[in-house]
Amino acid sequence: MDRIPTPSQTAGPFFHLGLTTTRSVAEIADAKAQGEHLTLICRVFDGEGNALNDAMIEIWQADAEGRYNHPDDPQNKLCDPHCAGFGRMATDENGVCVFETIKPGRVLANDGGLQAPHLNLSVFARGVLKRLATRLYFSGDPSNPGDPVLSLVPPNRRETLMAHPDPARPGAWRFDVHLSGNRETVFFDI
């Protein structure tokens, strides 16, 4: 009997059905949250530059004081009750999802220093069996050069982790995720 290979299949895209809509969380921090309020516009692209209309982004972030809303955060600080620290959205037909949040504070690094303000992102998309973990940093932040994680990334690839202010929308930042290709976002093996 000849065995003929069959095409492989991924476990998705099912994000719009099972993990978003009523479970979507676009508001990471509400209007009463402390800190610099911002709108984050994320776009997801495949290796050919086509927008993905069936991807999903999850975000975990600290509040303005640098504390995560999680019991494993070792700091003896109260969390801002108006900053959930978590968001999850599916991309729309243009590959876009929009979050309302704040710029996070600096969190402690393993060496006792401080990390630059950043958001932790998980990207889920067709053809991806496990989440892709990355970070979003804020372009021009003076603490970026000293960030211990960002410094592990080759200098010519750091730009893939930078969000930029949207000149057309005050208070909005844009972040593009490229799943592959010459503009591929840096993803971390965690």
Q: pLDDT, tens digit, for every residue of 127-159?
A: 787 899 999 999 999 999 999 999 999 999 999
Q: What is the pLDDT of residues 41-89, one digit of tens each?
A: 999 999 999 999 999 999 999 999 999 987 777 777 789 999 999 999 9
pTM of the shown model: 0.87
Q: Are 90 and 148 in contact (CB under 8 A)?
A: no
Grade residue 9 by pLDDT with cuts at 50, 70 and 90: very low
Look at residues 90, 101, 106 and name the one whose alpha carbon lies nearest to residue 144.
106
> Which class would CATH give 15-178?
mainly beta
Residue 50 neighbours by CB under 8 Å, 6+ apart? 95
Going from N- to C-terminal start, the domains of the chain cover: 15-178
Q: Are 35 and 66 in contact (CB under 8 A)?
A: no
Which bin fits 44, alpha (ψ -120 to 50), beta or left (φ > 0)? beta
